[in-house]
Amino acid sequence: MEIPYTVTARADTGLWNAKIGIWLFLASEVMLFGGLFSGYVFLRLGAASTPDYDWPTELLNVPMGFVNTLILIGSSVTVILSWSALKLREYNKFKIWMSITLLCAVAFLGIKTVEYTEKFTGYGIFLNDGAEIKGKYATEQEGFVTIVPKYPEKAEAAGFTPAPATLAVHEGSYVIPVENVVRWSNFQPSYNTFYSIYFTLTGLHALHVIGGVVVLGYFLFFGGPMWRTNPEHLANRVEVGGLFWHFVDLVWIFLFPILYLM
């Protein structure tokens, strides 16, 4: 049985079925991310109105986030060029442009992995007096919590002292008695409010990027038979995948300023 309206437009909507479907799907995605963005804004405003809560503004790598923004903007251009090549019946050019799109996506995920690694290898220690010391290589041994602080002067002001030679710790470590520590952990979602919303937003976005890679990669590596039998159908499918990819890029264009710059 042949599925109707995969290439030709419906008379009632002027669109073929997949294009109607992707716009309905993207409408649901707007509501999903819109709710998350709204949640972030309320959390941010709530933190600004709470004198004893210092919303972290120096925790993210702005240059990496900016490079990722440029990468995704560039991939939006190349995915359009890949679709245009199919409309012009230039299959080899389609493969080139789609390959560049996928390389951009992989580069984005690679940079994001580096950022995540920085978070999970960084640590923070909360003290009884309310102080918070950030750094790396935090451990607990022999009644002390040790850390290589990002700002040694802040650690010393909070009562940390250089680690004695008897402790097997990283060079530059400072120690404080465990009874002076409320809690300590790496920068995981449970660390504070900022990291919980950061990992929720960026993690969900990364899953969308991976989904886009799977779909666009399928067109690149397995689109040959459809190109030989029905090239216009393949062009329509790539257009639908491209619309999803534009949405993924647009979400990041909003994510970058609100997370990294505000």
pTM over 0.85: yes
Q: Are 232 and 3 in contact (CB under 8 A)?
A: no
* Whole-number CA gyration radius for the chain: 25
Q: Are 219 and 238 in contact (CB under 8 A)?
A: yes
Each residue's pLDDT tens digit in the chain (262 positions)?
A: 456 656 666 666 666 677 888 889 999 999 999 999 999 888 888 876 666 666 776 678 899 999 999 999 999 999 999 999 999 999 999 999 999 999 999 999 999 999 999 889 899 999 998 888 999 999 998 889 999 998 899 999 999 999 988 888 888 999 999 999 999 999 999 888 888 999 999 999 999 999 999 999 999 999 999 899 888 889 989 999 999 999 999 999 999 998 888 7
Whole-angstrom Cα distance, residue 248 to residue 14? 25
Whole-angstrom Cα distance, residue 111 to residue 256? 14
Q: Are 256 and 56 in contact (CB under 8 A)?
A: no
Residue-level pLDDT at 1:
46
Which residue pairs, CB below 8 angstroms and at least 24 apart, start in 61-69?
A: 61/115, 61/118, 62/260, 62/261, 64/111, 64/114, 64/115, 65/115, 65/256, 65/259, 65/260, 66/256, 66/260, 67/111, 68/108, 68/111, 68/112, 68/252, 68/256, 69/252, 69/253, 69/256
Residue-level pLDDT at 60:
86
**In b/e form, how buried is each residue of 175-214, taking b as 16+ CB within 10 angstroms?**
bbeeebbeebeebeeebbbbbebbbebbeebbebbeebbe
CA-nearest of 174, 169, 193, 179 to 134 is 174
Residue-level pLDDT at 142:
85
Residue-level pLDDT at 162:
93
Residue-level pLDDT at 230:
87
Whole-angstrom Cα distance, residue 163 to residue 88? 68
Helices (H), 49-192: 62-87, 91-120, 152-157
